[in-house]
């Protein structure tokens, strides 16, 4: 478990997922369930069997006893979706205090085509030559916006106002994001799905890999009873 703490997993072009802290483990979930009878561990086989029973029958409160605290670096288009999960606690860096750097912008590797069957989704990619043209245009857009941002700062404009020049949805923010195991499973189930936006799927997949290493019994039951069912 300790080898996971503060280990940084890269995501997208400049992002990362880092598990800062964690409270509890698979056994903590089992013991939380057994407290109803003032009981504790009864051996690995019986403990694991009980945990599977809990998840299979959706007894969720014992899973809320385990918490994950992540440090995430994501572009704003990902943070906008992370904040939709209102069971999380979070705090982000502030552009009022910390100036942005010149390369704090997300540059996609491919440009995806609008899905014809899903109004909010994408599928496939556009012609690579058109994509290269768009990438160059995007980089020029970033460069111009950042120059205006620096110009405003040098003119004495407050950081909180100068950031208006920055291209909004692509700016990377670093923040702390905390969630209990029950709600984290719900987040993973929704955000690794094929209809989730590609960028947040990359973060959800990495978070799920951390989850599997931290709670192997719970992850196994989760895959069996929830992910495979979906």
Which residues touch 95 (CB under 8 Å, ≥6 apart)? 159, 160, 163, 166
% helix, strand, coil for the chain, step of 5 = 50, 20, 30
- What is the phi/psi pair of residue 200, to 5°? -75, -25
Beta strands of the chain (E only): which ranges? 8-11, 15-23, 67-75, 89-92, 112-114, 122-125, 172-180
Of these residues, 86, 112, 186, 191, which one is catalytic? Answer: 191
Could you confirm whether 191 is annotated as catalytic? Answer: yes
- Strand 89-92 versus strand 172-180 pairing type: antiparallel
Rounded distance between C-alpha atoms, residue 212 and residue 215, angstroms: 5
Q: Catalytic residues, which ones?
A: 191
């Amino acid at each position: 478990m300790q080898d996971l703490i503060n280990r940084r997993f890269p995501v997208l072009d400049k992002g990362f997922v880092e598990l800062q802290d964690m409270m509890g483990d698979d056994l903590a979930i089992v013991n939380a369930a057994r407290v109803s009878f003032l009981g504790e561990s009864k051996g690995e086989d019986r403990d694991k069997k009980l945990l599977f029973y809990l998840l299979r029958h959706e007894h969720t409160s014992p899973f809320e006893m385990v918490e994950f605290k992540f440090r995430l670096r994501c572009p704003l288009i990902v943070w906008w979706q992370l904040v939709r999960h209102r069971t999380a606690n979070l705090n982000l860096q502030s552009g009022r205090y910390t100036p942005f750097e010149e390369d704090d912008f997300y540059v996609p590797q491919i440009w995806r085509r609008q899905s014809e069957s899903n109004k909010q989704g994408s599928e496939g990619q556009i012609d690579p030559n058109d994509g290269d043209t768009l990438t160059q245009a995007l980089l020029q857009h970033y460069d111009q916006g950042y120059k205006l941002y620096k110009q405003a700062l040098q003119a004495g404009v407050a950081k909180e106002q100068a950031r208006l020049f920055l291209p909004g949805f692509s700016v990377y923010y670093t923040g702390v994001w905390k969630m209990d195991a029950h709600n984290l499973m719900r987040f993973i189930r929704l955000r690794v799905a094929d209809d989730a936006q590609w960028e947040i799927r990359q973060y959800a997949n990495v978070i799920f890999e951390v989850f599997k290493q931290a709670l192997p019994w719970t992850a196994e039951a989760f895959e069996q009873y929830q992910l495979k069912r979906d």
